[in-house]
Structure 1
Amino acid sequence: MKAVRINEFGGTEVLKIQEVERPVPGADEILVKCYASGVNPADWVIRNGGNDFLKPILKLPLILGWDAAGIVEEVGSNVTNFKRGDEVYGVPNFPGDGSYAEYFSAKANQFALKPKSISFNEAAGVPLAGLVAWAGNFQLGQLQAGQKVLIHGASGGVGSFAVQFAKAKGAYVIGTASAGNLAFLKQIGADEVIDYRNQQFEELLQDIDLVFDASPLRDNKERLKCINVLKEGGIYVSVNVDFAFGDEVKEALTKKKAKGEVVGGSGSYVSAEYLSEIAQLIDSGKVKVVISKVYPLEQVAEAHKESESWHVRGKLVLEVRKEH
C-alpha cells in the first residue's frame, strides 16, 4: 500500500510516499481503508523531531497522521462494536503508523461511526481537533449552559470546534481572532468577538467561567492576562502541552482559587463516546465542519507548509482516495 512515511526528522523534504506492508489489526483493533486524513500541527511538530513532550516516544520510521475517516476492512477478534463495511472516523494509534496511508490499523475504542451527513474528507477534519475542543470545554473546563467562555485562537481547527460545541451546549461564547476572521466567528455562533491585534481582551472582560486557550502562542504573560479575567474559582485550559505553567501563573491561579489545566497531552481525551456525541451534533446541524483546503496525498508537503503558517481557518485535509 501507499503511505507517507518519514525515515528521518526534518523539513518537508523528509515526507516520502513509499510502498509499505499493509498492517494487520491486533485483537482490539480495526483495519481501516482510509479515505482521508486531517493535517494537524502535531504532524509537522513530529516531522521536525517533536518537542520535549514527544521526543521520548517517537520511533522512526513512522507514518504521520492522527485524524482519519474511512471504511472498516477487518475487525480484530475482540472487537464487537464494528463490522466490515462500517463508515468510521477517529484517531489512529499515536504515535504509531498513522493515517497518511491507504490503510491503517488502530484501537477500536478510538473510533466511532462517522457523521452520516458529511463526506469522508469533512469527517477526517474532526477527530483530533474536535476531541481536544470537547475535552477542553467539558471534561477539563466543566462548561455549563449559561456560563461565559473566552476562546483564544477561535478561528483555528480546535478553536472553531470549541466555539460551536460551547454554543450548542448553551454557553455564552466570546472568541478572539484576527480582524479578517471576526465575521466567520459570528457565523459559527460566537456571541462576542475580539480582534486580538487591536483590542485588549483583559481590559474588556471580567468574571469569565472558562478561558480556553487554543492559540499557539506560548507566553506566560498572556496566560496571566487570561487568569486575570477569570472569576474566582474559574478554569484556565491551554492546548500547549509542551509549555509548562510558570511560577507566576501558578501563583495567580492559587490567588483566584482557579484551576489550570492542559489538554492534548495524554490520550485521556480520545473517546469513542465523545466522537459519537460530536457526530450527533454534526448530523443535527448544530456543528459545521470548516475545511480550509483539501490536498491530494501527493501534495502532503504543501499541506504541511500551509499548516505551519498558523493562518488556517478551520482544518486542512489530505484526500487519500476518492469517494465513490
Structure 2
Amino acid sequence: MVFPQTFRAYQYESYGSLEKVLKINTNIPQKPLGAQQVRIKVHSASVNPIDYMLLETAGQAFLGKAPSVNDPFGIGFDAAGEIVEVGKSVERLKVGDRVYTMTPFSGFGSLAEFLVVDEEYVAVQPTNLDFNEAAAVPMVALTAYAVTTTSSRNMELVKSLGADQVIDYTKEKWLNVLEPHSIDAVYDCGMESSAWNDGAQLVLKKNTGRFITILPMAQPVKEAEFGAQLIGEVHNTDPSAEKLDVVTKYIESGAVKPVIDTIFPFEKALDAFAKLKSRHAQGKLVVQVQP
C-alpha cells in the first residue's frame, strides 16, 4: 500500500505546560519497520490524563529522560486505524486490517498520522465499532464499576453503563452513604491518601476488602485499623494484543460499549486536552486524525 514518506504528528521538545510546548510537526520522516512491527495509518486517537501528566509533571520520573530539539517526544497511547505495511516476521496481521492499539511506554505517540508499533500490541478492532469508537477503548478497557461516584449531571449516564448504585459527590460523601465494611473493592482514581485514610477503611470488608489506586498515593498513608496490608504496586497498564482480543469479544457481544463525549479534528487536539483537564467530560475525548 502506498503511503507518504513524511507525516504530521504532535510533539514536544521540552517538558512544561502542554499549551506552550505541544506543537504539530508537519515534516516527520517515516522510519523503517522492524521485522515484527506494523505501520498504522492512524484514523483516530484518544487522549488520557497520563498524556499531559508525562509532559507536565511525571515524564522524567516515568521515562528517565527528557525530550530535546533533536529527540522530541510524541504524545498519546490510544489509536485506531488501518495497517499499511507489515514487517517480514509479522504473522497475525496484514495490510488492510482495521486495528486498534495501546502503545507501550517505549513507543507512545499516537497523536500522529502514522504510527509504528510492535505486532504484539496491536489487535483487530471490534467489527461493530468505527475508528473513533475503537480509539476510545484501549487504555480504559479493563476498568469496571459496580458502585461509583459522580455529579448529578452524569448520574443517568453512569447508570446506563451498569452501575448498581450512584453517589452524587457534590451532595454527599460516599463513605457516609455506604454501609460499614460492606464493599469488596475500592478503585481510586484520585491519587490521594485521604481516600484510604478516611474512606476505604470504613467501607471495605475487614478481611477480604481490596483498595486499588492507579498511582502511588501521597504520604503519609495511615496503617490499616483492621489488618489490611500492602500486597503490591502496579504503576502502569501492561498493553497487549491478547488482552485487546478479550476486550473485543465483550464489545462485539454488547456487554461493553465505549462512550464518547466529543470528537475533535486533528488540528484541535489542544482543545481536547483542555476539556480533559477540566474533568467534566462525559466519556472519552477522541481526536479524528483523518478527516
How far apart in 2 are the matches of 1:201 and 1:261? 25
Superimposed CA distance per residue, residues 2-27 of structure 1 (whole angstroms, 9 cap, x where no aligned partner): 11111122221322111101132222
Q: Find 1:44's aligned residue among 37, 43, 52.
A: 52
Instruction: Normalising by structure 1, report the TM-score.
Output: 0.79
Q: Does 1:34 align with 2:9?
A: no
Q: Which residue of structure 2 lines up, in the alignment, with residue 187 of structure 1?
A: 160
**Structure-2 change in CA distance of 1:315 and 1:50 (3 Å):** same
**Structure-2 change in CA distance of 1:16 and 1:75 (3 Å):** same
Q: Does 1:125 align with 2:136?
A: yes
How far apart in 2 are the matches of 1:53 and 1:130? 25
Deviation of 1:41 after TM superposition, in Å, equals 0.8
Structure 2 unpaired stretches of 5+: 1-6
SS in 1 for 2:116: strand
How far apart in 2 are the matches of 1:187 and 1:97? 32
Give the fraction of aligned pairs with identical amino acids, expressed as a percent.
33
- Does the 8 Å CA contact 1:29/1:75 hold for their aligned counterparts? yes
How far apart in 2 are the matches of 1:89 and 1:312? 22
- Does the 8 Å CA contact 2:191/2:218 hold for their aligned counterparts? no
Match runs of 1:274-293 below 5 Å: 274-293=243-262
**Structure-2 change in CA distance of 1:129 and 1:259 (3 Å):** same
Q: Which residue of structure 1 lines up, in the alignment, with residue 187 of structure 2?
A: 212
Match runs of 1:138-217 below 5 Å: 162-163=144-145, 173-205=146-178, 206-214=181-189, 217=190
Q: Which residue of structure 1 lines up, in the alignment, with residue 240 of structure 2?
A: 271
Deviation of 1:62 after TM superposition, in Å, equals 0.9
Superimposed CA distance per residue, residues 200-228 of structure 1 (whole angstroms, 9 cap, x where no aligned partner): 222232321111113xx332122221132
Q: Find 1:4's aligned residue among 10, 20, 27.
A: 10
* Residue type of the alignment partner of 1:39: V
Deviation of 1:89 after TM superposition, in Å, equals 0.5
- Does the 8 Å CA contact 1:62/1:96 hold for their aligned counterparts? no
Q: Which residue of structure 1 lines up, in the alignment, with residue 92 of structure 2?
A: 81
Q: Find 2:117's aligned residue among 106, 117, 141.
A: 106
Q: Which residue of structure 2 lines up, in the alignment, with residue 256 of structure 1?
A: 227
SS in 2 for 1:185: helix
- Does the 8 Å CA contact 1:234/1:259 hold for their aligned counterparts? no
- Does the 8 Å CA contact 1:68/1:91 hold for their aligned counterparts? yes
Deviation of 1:39 after TM superposition, in Å, equals 0.7
* Residue type of the alignment partner of 2:227: K
Instruction: Normalising by structure 2, report the TM-score.
Output: 0.87
Deviation of 1:259 after TM superposition, in Å, equals 5.2
Worse-matched range after superposition: 225-234 or 110-119 = 225-234
Deviation of 1:122 after TM superposition, in Å, equals 0.8
How far apart in 2 are the matches of 1:13 and 1:96? 23
Superimposed CA distance per residue, residues 132-167 of structure 1 (whole angstroms, 9 cap, x where no aligned partner): x2xxxxxxxxxxxxxxxxxxxxxxxxxxxx23xxxx
Superimposed CA distance per residue, residues 84-113 of structure 1 (whole angstroms, 9 cap, x where no aligned partner): 111111112424351111111112111211
SS in 2 for 1:25: coil
Q: Which residue of structure 1 lines up, in the alignment, with residue 201 of structure 2?
A: 227
* Residue type of the alignment partner of 2:39: L
Deviation of 1:56 after TM superposition, in Å, equals 1.8
Q: Which residue of structure 1 lines up, in the alignment, with residue 83 of structure 2?
A: 72
Q: Which residue of structure 2 lines up, in the alignment, with residue 305 of structure 1?
A: 274
Q: Which residue of structure 2 lines up, in the alignment, with residue 149 of structure 1?
A: none
How far apart in 2 are the matches of 1:199 and 1:283? 37
How far apart in 2 are the matches of 1:275 and 1:319? 21
How far apart in 2 are the matches of 1:275 and 1:80? 17
* Residue type of the alignment partner of 1:213: D
The count of aligned residue pairs is: 276
- Does the 8 Å CA contact 1:236/1:261 hold for their aligned counterparts? no
Deviation of 1:261 after TM superposition, in Å, equals 5.4
SS in 1 for 2:166: strand
Deviation of 1:236 after TM superposition, in Å, equals 0.9
CA RMSD of aligned residues (A): 2.1
* Residue type of the alignment partner of 2:119: A
